[in-house]
Amino acid sequence: MHKADLLVVEDDPALARLVSYNLEKQGYMVRHAADGEVALEYVRQRRPDLILLDWMLPGISGLEVCRRLREQARTAALPIIMFSARGEEADTIRGLDTGADDYLVKPFSMDALFARVKAILRRAPPADKTLRFDTLVMDRVSHKVERDGRQLSLGPTEYRLLEFLMLHPAQVFSREELLKHAWERSSFVELRTVDVHIRRLRQTLNEGGGVDLIRTVRARGYALDKAQDPD
């Protein structure tokens, strides 16, 4: 699951570095622009998930950047957090009025910044909900699996087993490991039981034709793997 892309627009190198550094440490992808021109140009090319915008900028002001972003359909809904040195209320109001989603007064703590960023991003969380392997697609949210567009129907255990394998493609796991990771029940289960489930998984996976996606590694275990025919 990868975190959001942020764009920091700030002309003061020290502050820019401080903010960028800390946000990166939180796991965000952070880009930096030193002025409004650069920022707008960057956004035109690759729209970030959130913009942190300083009010005072050389050239185009932050307020103006904000306004222009709001004009474009592509960026009209792009979340913006503005910050400035002025604590005057009138500015805050103007900022929000122009379309900023939030407002921070310098100096602000990193915790305050994180809280705002988190709050804003919560509205549109991207998720690593789809696993893929070859033409196999598993949607973990809707709990559906398909191969070549054909929908497959898997029992709970086969589903978990496949999920685990898809999370670690091409890797060989012993029966013990598979039991440990893909089984919920703690009671002792025969190692050979894994064989049976692998068989059922294979059956379902291959019912529409196509190569066997599960490789048996003698004396070791199984792996989700494509390369099969070493003719």
Residues 10-39 touching a second copy, rule: CB under 8 A, are none
Q: Which are the contacts of 165, defined by CB distance < 8 A and separation ≥ 6?
A: 173, 214, 222, 223, 224
* 49 touches, from DNA, a second copy, none (C-beta below 5 to 8 Å by class): none
Which of 199, 207, 211, 228: binder of DNA (CB under 7 A)? Answer: 199
Number of residues that bind DNA (CB under 7 A): 26
Helix (H) or strand (E) holding 33: strand 29-33
Q: For a second copy, which is the closer residue by CB, 13 or 151?
A: 151
- Told to check if 216 binds DNA by CB under 7 A, we report yes
- Does residue 151 interact with a second copy by CB under 8 A? yes
Cα-Cα-Cα-Cα dihedral sign, residues 148, 149, 153, 158: positive
The answer to whether 225 contacts a second copy (rule: CB under 8 A) is: yes
Give just the sign of the alpha carbon dihedral 99, 14, 38, 51.
negative
Which region, judged by CB under 7 A, interacts with DNA, from 39-47, 76-84, 89-97, 193-201? 193-201
Q: Fill in the amino acid letter for 18.
A: L
- Alpha-carbon distance of 166 to 110, in angstroms, equals 37
- Which residue in the block uniquely carries the two structure tokens 């598979």? 178
Task: Work out whether 112 is an interface residue with a second copy (CB under 8 A).
Answer: yes
How many chain residues are in contact with a second copy, going by CB under 8 A? 38
Binding range to a second copy, per CB under 8 A, among 8-16, 32-40, 58-66, 165-173: 165-173
Selected from 137, 162, 198, 213, the binder of DNA by CB under 7 A is: 198
**Phi, psi angles (nearest 5°) of residue 167:** -75, -20
Burial of 224 by CB count in 10 Å (0-12 exposed, 13-18 middle, 19+ buried)? buried
Q: Is 211 in the site for a second copy (CB under 8 A)?
A: no
Interface positions with DNA (CB under 7 A): 153, 155-158, 183, 185, 187-190, 192-193, 195-200, 202, 216-221
